[in-house]
Structure 1
Amino acid sequence: MTTQKVKIGLLQLNPKIGQLPQNIAKATNILSGAFPSLILPPSNSDQEFKPINANGLQEQPDIIILPELALTGYNFSSPQQLEPYLEPTSSGPSTQWAKDVSLKLGCHTVIGYPEKCVKTQKHYNSAVMVDPRGNVLFNYRKTHLYYSDETSGFLENPDRDFSKSAYGPWKSLCNGNIKLNVGICMDLNPYKFEAPFEKYEFANSCKANGANLILCPMAWTSSKSPSLIKTEGKEFEALDDQRKKDIIDHKQSLLLEARSMYDKSGDPIATNVDLLRKPEFSTLNYWLQRMSPYVNEPNQPRSNISRVGFVAGNRIGYEQGDVLYAGSSSVFVFNGKPISAETNPSESVEYYGSLGKAEEGFMMVQIEVDKI
C-alpha cells in the first residue's frame, strides 16, 4: 500500500482559568516563534509575551492540534464558573482563533473548547477542526466524561459508540488521502472506568472506522497528580487510621513535588527547565496501552490500514490547587508489523517525539501513514 506524508504540529499550552485573552495571546506568540510571518488580529489582552520555543520552521504543517479546552482552562469547579467561557457551537473565540491560524498558515487546526449548543442549551466538551480556507469541517463532542467534566456541567456525546467520530476525507487535507478519528482525553479510557479495561472502545472504533490518523486533544493529568489521591468519601472513611495516615502523607508528598515544579501563579519554575522538558514516559506508555488493538498480536484480526498515526495533544499546568497535568504531547505511528510471543510489541510502534511534561511550546514532525 502506498503512503501519505503528513506534517503534524503540536501546540502545548498552560491555559489558566479566567485568563482567556492572556491564553489566546500566549498561544499566538508560541506559534509566532515557530512561524515569524504569523500575524493574527490582536486579542483584548494588554499583556505582552515573548515568543517561546522559536525554532524557525520553514515548512507549514498540514495539521496543528491544540489541547482540550485549550484557551479557557479545564478544571472548573462548577457550571457557574464555566458559564462565562462557554462558546456557541463552532463560532466562539476558540474557533475564531483556529480560523485565523488556518487562514494565515494554510493548514488545518484542531482545538478543544467548551461548547454551548444554542438550540438545546446543552453544554459539551468539544473539539472543532478548521480547514485552510477557514471553513469548519467538524465539531466533535467528548463521549467518555471524566468526573471533572460532570462537575463543570458537560454532557456526554449521545453517540456513545464512537461511530460518528470518524471524519473525512477532504481534498484540502493531503489530497484526500486522510481519514481522521477524533477523541478527547478520557475517550481513551473505559467508559466511566466501569467498562472492562480490555474493551478498548475508542481504539477498536478507530480501527473499525478505517482511520489512518487519530487525533486526541487532551487535558490529561500526571500520574503524580495529587488530585488522583482521594482523602474523603466512603471508601476512605472505611479505612483504618494507619492506612488513612499513609494516604494523606502520600498526597502531601505529591503536593510538595507539584509545588516544586510550578510557582504560585501556575507557571513552571525556571530552575527545573531540564527536568520539565522531559516527557512523562509512564503517561506515554499508558496512552499506547489504551491503543493496544493497533499492536498486531498473534490471533488478532489485521486491519486493511497498516500505518496509522496517533497524536496526543496534551496541556501542562497545575490547576485548582491539586491538579497536575502531564504535558508530554506526542506523535506515534502504528506500523502494522506483525509480532509474536518472541518479539517486542514496541517494534510495531514508531515514536516521533514529545514535548516536555511542563514545557509550553510547539513542535512539528512529519510522519507517513497508509493512504485510504
Structure 2
Amino acid sequence: MRIGCLQFAPQVGDVANNITRAEDVLSKADPDDLENLDLLVLPEMAFSGYNFKSPEHISPYLEPTGSGVSSKWARTTARKHNCTVAVGYPEKVDTEEQTSAPETYNALIVVNSGGEKLANYRKSFLYYTDDTWALEGQGFYGGKLGSFGQAALGICMDINPYKFEAPWDAYEFAFHVLQVRANLVILSTAWLTNDERTSFLSRPDAPDMSTLTYWVRRLEPVIQTNSSEETIVIFANRCGTEGEATYAGTSTVMGIKDGEVSVYGVLGRGVEELLVVDTDDLPFGKIVDRPGVPVNGEPGAPPAPAEEPEDKPPKDTGGAGAGSGLHAFHKNTHRVGTEHPSKQQQQQQQQQQRGHNNPTSTTHPPNKANRKPIPT
C-alpha cells in the first residue's frame, strides 16, 4: 500500500491560504511519489486551523457535512491523483428545527478515488480546545473502508484515556482496533508539544521521539497480541504554531506485527512536506522495548546498536541530512519505555480477545453520553 501524509502548518481561520500551503506541498513533491498513491491523509481540521477559542470564534469556519471546502478539496484531489483522501474538518449539522443551533463536530471525511464518501467520522474523545464548541461523536469508527479492508479511524485525543480521567490502561482506542480487527488505522491529528518553543523548533528535520514514543505506548494492546497479520498505523500530524500552541509534526507510518513496531517513514517535527511510503517495501527501522534501559536521549542512556533490515539502505523520509535526528533514527533502534502489563491489563486483554474472536459491534462508545458544548 502506497501511503502519503501531508504535513503542513495551517493558521487558524486562514482557510484560503491554508489550502494554498497544502497545494504547495503537493506541488513540490517528487512526481514519482505521487504516482500510484493509494491513500493521502491530512491533519485534523487541516484547512480551518485548530486553535479556536469559542463557538463564536469557529462559527464562520464550520462546514456542512461532506459538502464544505475541505470535502470539495478532498474530492478534487482524490480524482486528480486517483487515490483515497482523508481530511479533518469542523462539521456542522443543521437541525430540522430552524430555531435550534446546528450540531457541531470535529470530523474526518474519507473519499475514494472517484470522490465518493467512504466515511465521515466524528471525534469521540474531545480535547479541552474543541470541547468548547464540539459535541462528542457516537463512538470510534470501525468497518470496511473501500478496498483497504477493515479500518479504524480516530482523531488525535481519541488515543488518550477519556478526558485524561480514565485509567491509562483502559486503552479505549487500542482495544477498539482489536475489536474491529482493523488492518489499517488512520489517525488525523493536531498533536501538541509542551516543550519550550524555540528549542523545540530549532531542529525542524528531527522527529520528536517523545511524541512518537507516546503514540506507540497508546497502542500497547495491539502490540501485545503478537498477531502475525500486520496492522498499518498512520499518524498524520500538523506542524508549526498557532498563538501559544506548538505542534509536534513527526507524521509517521508504522506497522505492528508479531509484537514488533516497524517504521516505514517519519517526518521531522517542523517540516512542511509530503511523506510517502510503500508498505510493500521493507521498513527502515524498528521501535523496540528494552525494559530497564533508559530511552535514548534520557540521562544514562547508552548508544543503541543499529538494527536495520538487511540489504535495505536508509530511506530519506523527512529531508534530514547526515547528523540530523532522522539520520540517527535510521542508524539506531529506539526503545519505547513500556511497562509490563498489570494483572488488570491482562484481564482486559483476555476479555478483549474474546470480543476479538466474536465482534458484536464496529464502534466503541465513549465512556459517557454525548455532552453539549461548554459555553465560554
Give the superposition deviation at 1:223: 3.8
Give the superposition deviation at 1:336: 2.1
Q: Does 1:312 align with 2:307?
A: no
Partner of 1:291: 219
SS state of the match for residue 206, structure 2?
Answer: coil
Q: TM-score with structure 1 length normalisation?
A: 0.71
User: How many aligned residue pairs are there?
Assistant: 276
Give the superposition deviation at 1:56: 4.5
Give the superposition deviation at 1:115: 0.2
Equivalent position to 1:123, from 83, 95, 104? 104
Mapped contact 1:223–1:326 kept (Cα < 8 A): no
SS state of the match for residue 57, structure 2?
Answer: helix
Structure 2: gaps spanning 5 or more residues: 97-101, 282-376
Distance, in Å, in 2 between the alignment partners of 1:310 and 1:178 is 14
1:110-259 alignment to 2 at 5 Å? 110-119=86-95, 121-151=102-132, 153-159=133-139, 162=140, 165-170=141-146, 173=147, 177-224=148-195, 254=196, 257=199
SS state of the match for residue 183, structure 1?
Answer: strand
Equivalent position to 2:252, from 315, 330, 352? 330
The code of the aligned residue for 2:166 comes to: A
Partner of 1:345: none
Query: Percentage identity across aligned positions?
Result: 38
Q: Does 1:353 align with 2:324?
A: no
Partner of 1:108: 84
Partner of 1:75: 51
Higher relative contact order (CA 8 A, sep 6+): 1
Moved over 4 A (4+): none
Equivalent position to 1:21, from 16, 25, 35? 16
Distance, in Å, in 1 between the alignment partners of 2:143 and 2:61 is 27
Mapped contact 1:294–1:336 kept (Cα < 8 A): no
Distance, in Å, in 1 between the alignment partners of 2:197 and 2:194 is 13
Q: TM-score with structure 2 length normalisation?
A: 0.70
Q: Deviations over 1:134-180 (max 9, x none)?
A: 111110000000000112x0111133xx3xx113242xx3xxx5221
SS state of the match for residue 70, structure 1?
Answer: coil
Mapped contact 1:335–1:349 kept (Cα < 8 A): yes
Give the superposition deviation at 1:277: 1.0
The code of the aligned residue for 2:9 comes to: N
The code of the aligned residue for 1:276 comes to: P
Give the superposition deviation at 1:60: 2.4
SS state of the match for residue 279, structure 2?
Answer: strand
